[in-house]
A = this chain, B = another copy of it.
Amino acid sequence: MSPKALAIRDPNYVERVKDAFARQGFLRHVDARVEEVAPGRCVIAADFRSELAQQNGFFHGGLLGTIADAAGAGAAATLIEPGQGLLTAEYKINFLTPAKAARLRAVGEVARAGRTLSVSQVNLYGIDAAGQEQLCALATVTLMILEREAPSFQKN
């Protein structure tokens, strides 16, 4: 992204991203945590436990998608204006290798910050007990920018 596109429009963006994250029951339920917030960037992590696994002891693909969505939305949220909100329009995740790891780390970066839509790319890494990272999944997240923090119900 060009420097112009990454211009921060809300000086309180770090606090706002962390606050939005904290209010999401599902992200707390999966014990995801915010590791880093920077302009156009958000890193989310989760530690392995059996409640996050599928039957072979890997992180579950649904959990990876959840973390990817959170990292992509968090990255896009750093660039919106005060009072605006975001809603995920769609996301897509490719699993590259089974995520057998002690920890999962999703790095979301904004590829496009538009007025109506933002697009984030997310790289997901499995990190083993020795701290070695392996890229295990790739995701793209498209977000719709809302003129208020919560969507209205009369959308049609």
Chain B residues near A155: list those with CB within 8 A: 97-98, 114-115
Number of A residues with CB within 8 Å of any CB on chain B: 60
Known: A91-B92, A111-B96. A23 touches B55 (CB 8 A): yes
Shortest distance in angstroms between A122's beta carbon and chain B's nearest beta carbon? Answer: 12
Q: Does A38 interact with chain B (Cβ within 8 Å)?
A: no
A81 CB → nearest B CB, Å: 13
| Interface core residue of A63, A69, A88, A89 (most chain B CB under 10 Å) | A89
Say whether A142 faces chain B, with CB atoms less than 8 Å apart. yes
What are the interface flags for A18-41 relative to B under an 8 Å C-beta threshold, 1 for contact and 0 otherwise? 001001111111100000000000
Point out the residues of chain B lying under 8 angstroms from A25, CB to CB: 49-54, 60
Set of chain B residues within 8 Å of A26, measured between Cβ atoms: 51-54, 60, 62-63
Contacts of A115 in B (CB 8 A): 155-156
In this assembly, does A8 line the interface, its C-beta being within 8 Å of a C-beta of chain B?
no
Decide: A89 and B100 in contact? CB cutoff 8 A.
no
Residue contact A24 to B51, C-beta cutoff 8 Å: no
Q: Is the CB of B87 within 8 A of A98?
A: yes
Q: Which of A62, A97, A155 has the most CB of B within 10 A?
A: A62
**Knowing A88-B95, A112-B97, A135-B111 touch, does A51 contact B66 (C-beta < 8 A)?**
no
Chain B residues, CB < 8 A from A94: 89-90, 111-112, 119, 140, 142
3 smallest beta-carbon distances between A and B, as pairs: A62-B66, A26-B60, A96-B112
